[in-house]
Structure 1
Amino acid sequence: MEIERRFIASPQVLNLDLGPGHDIVQGYLWAGPQGNARVRVDGDRGLLTCKGPKFGFCRNETEIPIPHAAALDLLAALPAETLIHKTRYAVAVGGLGWAVDVFGGRHQGLIIGEIELTDPAQMFLRPDWAVREVTWDPRYGNSSLALSGWQPVAA
């Protein structure tokens, strides 16, 4: 079960000592209201991920390692304009780990901070740089970004 909260992050997060990031390229084999299937290259790892429909901010998720070459082949078969390019950084806040994704390509300028929780009721410290929650806004899901691009939305 994936229990995730997502936030638009202020560019001020880039002033933190983020340490080394890692580049991710991902694309969607299919996506819709019932879930999605994603292929990802994360460094030298290939991953195939299937996600079910969302229930609030929870959903079933299965992630399977696949050969790096197979992941590259699957990505190459997808339209280039639908691929997501981002650099992911790990940030500790209040004893919990956040992922900060700095998007590139046609999503340049978008920064998303996300935290994965162990329970839907789990409390967490929201950092100042997490300026607006977009957990329930489908425009900020990666599958939506892949298909429709991104334009900044006024707060």
Structure 2
Amino acid sequence: MAKEIERKFLVRGDHWRDLVSEKLTLRQAYIASMDDRSVRVRLTNDTVATLTMKIGRAMTRDEFEYEIPIADAEELLGNAIGLVIEKTRYKVPFKGFVWEVDVFRGAHRGLVIAEVEMEDESDDPELPDWVGREVTGEYRYSNQALATQFEQEYDELSHSA
């Protein structure tokens, strides 16, 4: 079983752009979403599709990821819970770690979040000057919340009429 160990930060400034080693275009959506688990479909550069299950909400979560046919991913994106998240992911090497800077498009335009994956919770990556407040574990900054929060608000409003 794979473990995902990551820290997440808001990004300030554009200093990271000079350090980018790779750029990916992502579309992703949630097929199932619960408080501490989710099933996500992701299409990367329109050429690779994955289905991912995550369990847990802390810095360390269980993660299971499988490649699936692109046609299946497209159909699953069309059956998403909430929004399809659109973002560009930039890989930014910095002092022994690769940071992933996500620049959101669509409904979340303007939001920029950086994540750093670690081998162990005790790892202590040096923080670049372009990262701001740490938001690790803050559900509202999770992709799961970004995808589903609008539908939840809509559901609440639709029931109040």
Residues 15 and 45 from structure 1, CA distance in 2 versus in 1: closer, same or farther, beyond 3 angstroms?
Answer: closer
Corresponding residue to 1:70 among 69, 72, 77: 72
CA contact (8 A) 2:6 2:60 kept: yes
Q: Runs of 4+ in structure 1 displaced over 3 angstroms?
A: none
Aligned letter for 2:116? I
Superposed, which structure 2 residues align to 1:6-155 within 5 Å?
6-13=8-15, 15-43=17-45, 44-54=47-57, 56-78=58-80, 82-149=83-150
Greater gyration radius: 2
CA contact (8 A) 2:5 2:120 kept: yes
Separation (CA, whole Å) in 1 of partners of 2:17 and 2:94: 15
Contact 2:25-2:88 at 8 Å conserved across structures: yes
Once the two structures are superposed, what CA deviation does each residue of 1:79-124 show, in whole Å capped at 9, x if it has no partner?
6x61100000110111211111000001000001000000001111
Alpha-carbon distance between aligned partners in 2 of 1:97 and 1:15, rounded to the nearest angstrom: 13
Describe the SS at the equivalent of 1:143: helix
Q: Deviations over 1:49-79 (max 9, x none)?
A: 000022x300000000001111011102226
SS at match of 1:16: helix
Q: Report the 3-state secondary structure (helix = DSSP H, G, I; strand = E; otherwise coil) of the residue aligned with 2:8.
A: strand
Give the residue type in structure 2 aligned to 1:123.
D
| Distance in structure 2 (CA, Å) of the matches to 1:83 and 1:13 | 28
Given that 2:20 and 2:93 are in contact with CA atoms closer than 8 Å, whether structure 1 keeps it comes out as no
Distance 1:76 1:57, change over 3 A: same
Classify the secondary structure of the residue corresponding to 1:60.
strand
TM-score, with length taken from structure 2? 0.86
Q: What is the number of residues matched between the two proteins?
A: 147
- Name structure 1 gaps, 5 residues minimum: 150-155
Question: What is the CA RMSD across the aligned residues, in angstroms?
Answer: 1.5
For the residue of structure 2 that corresponds to 1:46, the secondary structure is: strand
Question: Which one has a larger percent strand, Structure 1 or Structure 2?
Answer: 2
Question: In structure 2, what is the Cα distance between the partners aligned to 1:47 and 1:126?
Answer: 30
Counterpart secondary structure, 2:25: strand
Conserved 8 A contact 2:36-2:55: yes
